[in-house]
Amino acid sequence: MSKRKNLRKVLVIHGPNLNMLGKREPAIYGKTTLNDINKKLENLGKKLGIAVDTFQSNHEGEIVEKIQDAMGKCQGLIINPAAYTHTSIAIRDALLLLDIPIIEIHLSNIYKRESFRHKSMIADIAEAQISGFGTLGYNMALEAISTMI
């Protein structure tokens, strides 16, 4: 059996507009790009013995399909649903299909922002929520999920 097959697999899903990191509201989200985040996660994953699969979409249905596709293939999921955090019952329902640890992540502290951002549709079904640590939150999530799986 190859070493790759022994790796635990974690799916990281980035929601809408996160493809614009580095350009979009740098005062809130910083100058780090999504590609930078993904590379750091892949490198940390190697150190932790985790294969990291990253995915970004601006489309709710594509995110739902990616979650459904993770069934039986991933041991953990990290998701930054972005704006869908506050609106998507479809993403919530898809996450309920999974029997793996889920960590919800946000670059900014959603509780220090507009009141409509304070409600998460998935917080109560996730194992944990990491919010407000910027890009460091992704590393924190991967390290945490590595201990859960």
Judge whether 92 and 27 are in contact, CB under 8 Å.
no
Here the tokens at position 26 are: 């740098």
Active-site option among 14, 29, 84, 138? 29
Please say if 14 is a catalytic residue: no
Q: What pTM was computed for the model?
A: 0.91
Exposed / middle / buried, residue 134 (Cβ in 10 Å: 0-12, 13-18, 19+): middle
Which of 122, 127, 126 is closest to 90 using CA atoms? 122
Residue 2 has a pLDDT of: 43
Please say if 29 is a catalytic residue: yes
Query: What CA–CA distance (Å, rounded) separates 98 from 142?
Result: 18
State the CATH architecture for 3-123+130-148: 3-Layer(aba) Sandwich (3.40)
Between 1 and 28, residue with greater pLDDT: 28
Computed over every residue of the chain, the mean pLDDT equals 92
Active-site option among 14, 59, 84, 106? 106
At 124 the three-state DSSP class reads coil
* Domain boundaries, given as residue ranges, for the chain: 3-123+130-148
Task: Using a pLDDT cut of 70, give the percent of the chain over it.
Answer: 95
